[in-house]
Amino acid sequence: MDQMWGQTVRMSQRSLLLFLGITTTLAITVQDNYEWTTWFNVDHPGGRGDYEQLEAIRFYYHSRVCETPRAIEARTTEWVPARETGETVHADPTVGFWCINEEQGPGSNCSNYAVRFLCPKVSSLNNQGTWKPWSDWSPCPALCGQVGVQLRHRSCQSQSILCSGPKIEGKPCNGPECINTDCSLHCVLGRVNVDCDACMCEEHILLGSVRSAGGLIAQGATILRAGKLLTITDHNGHFRIPGICPDGNTTLTIGLQGHATHSVIVPNSAERTSVLSVTLKRAEKLYVLSNPESKVRKEGQSAAFCCKVTGTPEPDKYQWFHNNSLMEMQTESTLVLKDLHPEQVGEYYCRASAPSGAIKTKPATLKIIGRDEHSCSPQPESHLIRLPHDCYQNSTDSFYYDVGKCPSSSCAGLLDNTIRCKDKVAYCCGVTKMEERQLTCQGYQLSTMAVTECGCQKCVDTKAIVYGRAIAGDNGEPMRFGHIFMNGVRISRTGYKGTFTIQVPPDTERLVLTFVDNLQKFVNTTKVLQFKTNGGAVYHEIKLLRKKAPVTINPLETNTLELGEVEGQEAMVQLQIPPHSFYKENGEVFTGKVNASVTFLDPRDVSTAAAAQSDLNFIGDEGDTLPLRTYGMFSVDFRGEENNEPLNAGQVKVFLDSAQVQMSEHLNTMKLWSLNPETGLWEEEGSLQLDKKKRGKREERTFLIGNMEIRERRLFNLDVPENRRCYVKVRTFRSERFMPSEQVGGVVVSLINMEPTPGYSSNPRAWGRFDSVITGPNGACLPAFCDEQKPDAYSAYVMANLGGEELEAVPSAPKFNPNQIGVPQPYLQKLNYRRSDHEDPRVKKTAFSINVAKPSPNTAEEGNGPVYAFENLKQCEEAPFSAAHFRFTRVEGDRYDYNTVAFNEDDPMSWTEDYLSWWPKPMEYRACYIKIKMSSPHEINVRSRNMGGTHPKTIGQLYGLRDTRSIRDMDQANVSAVCLEFKCSGMLYDQDRVDRSLVKVIPQGSCKRDHVNSMLQEYLVNHLPLAVNNDTNEFTMLAPLDPLGHNYGIYTVTDQDPRTAKEIALGRCFDGTSDGTSRVMKTNEGVALTFTCGDREVTRQSVFQALQSPQGQTITTGGQGESRKGRRRQRANALRSSRKRSTRNPERRTQGRS
């Protein structure tokens, strides 16, 4: 700014109305008719001095300064009046205040000044005198190369009534040119200017127009040449610069707040006038493309950490932190550590900065082990597997056996000497030795492979998948054939039923997807989807808001749109659009009729929480990712009525009813945000200020009012940053035994933060935030708002979903069992745990509510979970199983799987390279099922025994067992059917030769094989060898190599995730088709085998009753050993004639796989 005034400002001594103080004579006038503005400070004393220019103050603060200030007062930022500083200063209420460093004493510079102006009170404007005409401008007093001020005067015609405004005005002026004999600049056109940094063409005028993003007028844009300010655009976005040479060498830089700077070259021209048109782009906030990668190294080795950050402008500064301490002399995007020693272990992260802000990466962990230490502990960890129902072990007094496992953690492998951001080969702890053990069961020996030694080896290659459905949040209508975008590029589309499957690209840190409906039924929806970084598939149900029907408005009038979706309550938000505010995308003002559709997500309705966009996070000033609490989101769609062209709008006013803001401290921190669809982060658009307005005929209401422009972004949010944060620990299990070895990974656990209720007068159904996380081997930590002073200030609902199936929470009534819930008293009472059916047993049991009471540091029993302070995230993530946590269960009571080589389907990294592995190839999981019809008054348990059939390494050896219970036909009382998994034939892990698996299908009880599908029988006969089938109580085959289909009663699906492959195959098997899906068993469709079983009811425990017994409980025959739970399960089984599959939901799966 100081460049506009030059090196020195010369002013003749003159009498100003007020300069650095108020005279006694004026005091009464000031009190009666005038008032002071707030203090302004728009410049600092760097460069040539401190210039508080009135024009610049008006640019930044708009109407907060009157048109003709009466007086000006100045002080330093230390509150010292300017007259007491001893510095040479200048002031004029029509121009501003300035202090020039050259005019101060040797070695002294100007202080940092703030100014305020004396303006007429609003009420005094109606009683003002009339001014006489202005005098001519005085001669310019500036010397060569300097800037001075020209003055003009006027007087008030009335002697009794004061005139409003200044008696004197000033404007800057340039002194004569100085002769410079040392300048080396040569001009093709014009002549060299005084500063010898540009060419001047006095006869040429440059006219220009600047538009902001979306084509809106860019008022107040700065035009600079070589860093010097030339001018500022006017209220129409226009500028005029005389003397610019059209030589093709002059570069101008255009800047506007919130936009990326833009450079443009003045083109060659022989005309006296040139015209430029510039459209600016929105400044892009910094965004982390890749975080530093965790490393494991041996002492003396080297490690490199890299952070890749993008934005417009690009980062200009990098800082590295070790265990939250700034590292000196580390200012590059890559951090290299050589000759590592134990003191360097810990967390490392990078902070990148740019003019638009800062951002921090996620921390990476460096683990350093001794030169002679084992990178992985050779001793396996304990891992209990369930044994079949007829394999009780007297030695352990249980149905469990410890086969051991190796943690899939990173380790230091054989690395080359090249320093890389990402290691060329990833090494993990894995199995190096196993031994076969024979377990004695009832009438047979069961083989199992036990881990005996672990070591460091190459990690298993895995792929991360997200799949699911995109459906309407109100009625489940699918978004058919919609587009899915990532980073602005279309990567996939939804199917007819709204289904989608996406493979997560490698090195993806944050998966941000935008779902766009071609039919315009639904609002464009941006979601940040959680995925399993170690590989595998995660199911997501994308809830979409239905687009609001448009209303037709006249753009030449003021239009008000009310937003609020809760019946019987006042509108929560109002949008006021002034006349002439609509623009086409090319910047042209639009005057035709406008179809306006504004869809509001009302947080007063808790059912809308799942449809919330993104993850309600923003980047703070220091670069931290911080949470927001929403007071409503709205999506805007303005289109021309005639041709449906999209329109932008400028200077839209937003009114938020302050009565809807229940926490008074939020009134001062409320902001308006817009969503960046590529990063999924919210970015600040402006603040909201309290003001009282009368809206129509209603009583006076208080509103929070803000301004916004609707350009390329169409989704907005009314939010406050919230700093009272905690984490809630949740674990998910596959049975009600809640054993560590039976935890389920890949479960999407969601938490809805509710509006504070006790202590605040609020709507108990309103919500403020929605978060989701994925469970891993050690559960999950959910972010939540919490309060230490009022334990019941914040409450939350928690729910869990796996593959579209909701898991059950632990009951809170009629019995309240802290041991089952997983949290001890008295903390549990303080948290007020309630399952969703606590008061009404008819309600689903799939959620629980708690008060999120922040743990007190002075209470020992609250320091061990399940709620952790926000700074203790690592403690939450690494908490031992014995620490308090909340629980969900997925009871798999109708099937049992046993693998000779243990494998956790939730963790692809647990795959072991062995000939007897059920899945021989990771990332390519092939699931095979055979459909069997049972004629019996009872449901029948059926087993498949799967052994090596033709491969020399596996022939006669057990791959695994599968036990499944048949499901009754809904229309036929004596008919049931079962879809039974068997080991697919195919290549083993070495990809050397094929093994035709030998599969035995064995129904439990007295059953006889009646029929074999003729097409299946023909296939088996034509594809030798043929298995012997002399025993009519069972069926034996060498599994087919080909994916046969429903005509054979065989269902085969290959997928990159084992659970997904099984779910799709099961859906087809239930339906009896090769491409359909069903949740109801169709017993007469697509059957391979038929058995007839006797009428005798099995009196001993079934396999599934046995599996529900607690660990260590003895199972007896003859019915005497049945537990009360077992009898309850038998009674429930009698009602299963209309049962649907409880653990399968194939209707939600992606179709068309093979």
What's the CA gap between 743 and 805, in Å, rounded? 16
Burial 1064-1079 (b: 16+ CB within 10 A, else e): bbbbbbbbbbbebbbb
- Is the full-model pTM beyond 0.85? no
Is residue 743 within 8 A of residue 733, CB to CB? The reply is yes
Residue 414's contacts (CB-CB under 8 Å, 6 or more residues apart) are 425, 427
Q: In 3D, which of 111, 97, 128 has the Cα closest to residue 33?
A: 128
Q: In 3D, which of 305, 297, 310 has the Cα closest to residue 339?
A: 297
Name the maximum alpha-carbon separation found in the chain: 126
The four Cα atoms 704, 706, 710, 716 give a dihedral, to 10 degrees, of -40
Beta strands in 1004-1085, from DSSP E residues, in sequence order: 1007-1012, 1035-1038, 1050-1055
Is residue 95 within 8 A of residue 57, CB to CB? The reply is no
Q: Given this model, what pLDDT does residue 319 score?
A: 93
Phi-psi region of 710 (alpha: psi -120 to 50; beta: other; left: phi over 0): beta
Structure tokens at 305: 């950490």
Query: Could you say which DSSP state residue 1138 is in?
Result: G
What's the CA gap between 648 and 1055, in Å, rounded? 45
Please report where in the chains the tokens 């998910």 appear, as a residue.
732
For the CA atoms of the chain, what is the radius of gyration? Answer: 38
Residue 746's contacts (CB-CB under 8 Å, 6 or more residues apart) are 532, 536, 537, 538, 774, 775, 802, 906, 1059
Please report where in the chains the tokens 């070259």 appear, as a residue.
265
> Please, what are the averages of pLDDT over each run of 10 residues along the chain (1154 residues)?
34 33 34 79 78 81 79 90 90 88 84 90 59 85 75 74 73 73 79 83 89 84 89 88 88 89 90 89 88 90 91 90 90 91 93 90 91 88 88 87 88 79 87 91 90 90 89 92 93 92 89 93 93 87 92 92 81 89 85 92 85 88 87 90 89 85 78 90 86 55 81 78 87 88 89 67 62 91 87 88 88 88 91 87 85 87 89 91 93 79 83 89 88 92 94 93 89 90 91 91 91 94 89 93 93 87 89 85 93 65 42 33 36 35 36 40
Is residue 209 within 8 A of residue 238, CB to CB? The reply is yes
DSSP string, 34-89: EEE---B----S-TTEEEEEHHHHHHHHGGGS-SS-SEEEEEETTS-BGGGS----
CA distances from 258 to 280, 292, 683 (A): 10, 29, 11
- Helix or strand run (H / E) with residue 877: helix 873-877
Phi, psi of 908 (to 5 degrees): -60, -25
Q: Given this model, what pLDDT does residue 1132 score?
A: 35
CA distances from 219 to 240, 588, 705 (A): 13, 15, 21
Strand 925-935 relative to strand 895-899: parallel, antiparallel, unpaired?
unpaired
Structure tokens at 546: 């239905």
Is residue 803 within 8 A of residue 1063, CB to CB? The reply is yes
What's the CA gap between 630 and 609, in Å, rounded? 10
Is residue 725 within 8 A of residue 682, CB to CB? The reply is no
Q: Given this model, what pLDDT does residue 891 score?
A: 64
End-to-end CA distance of the chain: 68
The single-letter code of the amino acid at 47 is G
What contacts 24+ positions apart, CB below 8 Å, involve 832-839? 832/792, 832/795, 833/886, 835/809, 835/810, 835/811, 836/797, 836/809, 837/811, 837/813, 838/812, 838/813, 839/813
